[in-house]
Structure formats: C-alpha cells, structure tokens
Structure 1
Amino acid sequence: MEKENAKAAAELESLKKGVEEERATAAAERGALQRELDEERAKAASEKAAYPDLCVAAVEQYKGSPEFQMVVDAAVARGLAGQESGGVGPSRKTAGGRTEAEVIESFQQSDFYKHEMAEFWDSGWKMFKRRAEELFPHLDLSSVTIGEDDVAQTPLDEGVEEKDLASSEEE
C-alpha cells in the first residue's frame, strides 16, 4: 500500500508539475496575445486619426470634376428632400407634395448653389482662356467675358470664319 501511495504521490507531483508548466505556457501566450492586441489597437487608432486626412485628400483630388459636382448636387438634393418634407416616398414625392426634381430645382436656385457653380465655371473659363492664349498667342481674349447666365459674351463671334480658325492652327 505504501508503494501505491508513493506511486500516487509521484503521479500527483508529476501532474502538478505539468499543470504549472501549462500555466506558465498559457501566461506567456496570453502576454504575447495582449501585446499583439495592443499593437493592433494602436494601429487602428492611428489609421482612424489619419482617415479624415485621407478623405480630405480624396475630395480635393476629385473636387473639380463634373462627375463629382453631379454627385454632390444629387446628395444635397436628396438630403434636402428628406429634411424639408419628411422624406421621399415610393411615388418620388416628398411628404410636402414636391417631387425630388422640384427639390433639386429649388436647390439649384439657392444662393449657395449659384455661388459654387459660378466659382466652378469661372475656374474652368480661366483654365480654357490660359490654354487658348498658349495655343493662339495672337488671339486677343481680353474682350471676352462670362455673363450671368454662364454664356460667353463677345463681339468677336461675328465675322470669325472657319478658314480663320484653320489658318491660326497652321501657325
């Protein structure tokens, strides 16, 4: 019986030692996982902090394109449709009875929209004028203006023939 007790005690001691080793291994793994988690959290926080800058950069890159302007106009119009009248129903009519097209038209008549579009067209005109002056240095564009309706107004339009344009391209 003493032999069995000694054998059981040795086995118990061996099991205790195994449990201690498992605990040590688990603690080491837990520490490694905690460090990895902390690194991932720091990385996520850094990316989250940089995200607004990335969004601003993306918007700046595409801001001047007509496609971007159309998307912005549509998004603002949808937002206005939802705000002004309680949302857009299945009939595409707002709760106030206005269609989405009417809300868009109303937005396009707003001072904000007119100002932004004037800036857009003005910058486009300046780029066009600069390029035209590079290609046709003898051409005087000083009398050309952009009117209220975003239509070029010039006394030069009269009397300009296609042959005049062709000869200026040959130079």
Structure 2
Amino acid sequence: MTADLGMELHADTLITSKTNLKSLITYCNHDFYTYSGFSESEVLGKPHNIVRHKDMPKAVFKLLWEHIKEGKEVFAFVKNRTKNNEHYWVFANVTPSIDINSNIVGYYSVRRKPNPKALEKIAPLYDQMLQAEKSGGIEASTKILAQVCQQAGKEYNELIFALQRGDV
C-alpha cells in the first residue's frame, strides 16, 4: 500500500509554531502559512487544531498531551489539513516551553518532511485506530497503539524515530 502523501513537504522545510497552555497559536513561521494555506490573521489566537485532519486518531493527540504536560517532548507522524481541505503529512516534534522557574508556559512544535516509507506503515495503523475509536472510543485506539509498540519492543518515541529512520 502506498500512503496518500497529499501535498509533499520539501526536504528543507521546517514548519514551526508556538501555542499557549490552552493550545492557542501565538506564533507560526512562513512555512506554516505556506503549507496550511491559512494567513496569520486566520490562525493567531486560534486553537492549533485548526489544522487537525479528521483522519487523525484522537489517541495520538491524547498521548501527545500526556507527554508534553509532563514536561516531556514527543514525536509523531501527523496528517494536517489545509485551509482548502487538502492535506499534508509531517514528522512532528512537540516540546513544552519552560520559563525561568521551570514552569510550562506553552508549547513549541517543529515539523519536517516525514519518511514516505514510514507513512506506508502509519497510514494503515491510523485507519485501524480510527475504526477502533468509532466502536470502542479512545481507549480501544490507545490499546492498538500500545500493542504495536509492544510488538516492536519499543517505547512510543523510539518506534516513531525508528520509522522515520526506516529501521522498522
């Protein structure tokens, strides 16, 4: 199976954005606007999920939020939607932004071009997770992701990196 990559990112693309603690966008770079099709006035102050594609399992974002609220970084393959309802895949790194007193004050995300071979594995997994969410909720989808990690013998972030490198 070949994953539908949608609009493909250039190899040197770095899409960046920052949000506050409520996930409202406080900053985006030029690449964010280029790929999403949104303008600055359309996204600043808006929830970051403005670019969330309906094909993304909720369990992936649940895991993401668990990591960053604990002060940990997380990596994920994410299918984003554009203003025109097209899509593009990214390899995302999300980290908490920390102030001088070690308090989390927001979140920072950098996205780059994903390994197309990784998407050939991720896209069907996400489809399976979405189907599980329809019948069994986020818990059912989370269980599938946990099983995939267990079968690979890797923690979530390790598995994502292995896929991006082409090792799995």
- What is the TM-score of this pair, normalised by structure 2? 0.23
Greater percentage in helix: 1
Determine which structure has the larger strand proportion and give its number. 2
Larger gyration radius, structure 1 or structure 2: 1
TM-score (norm 1): 0.23
- Larger relative contact order (C-alpha < 8 A, sep ≥ 6)? 2
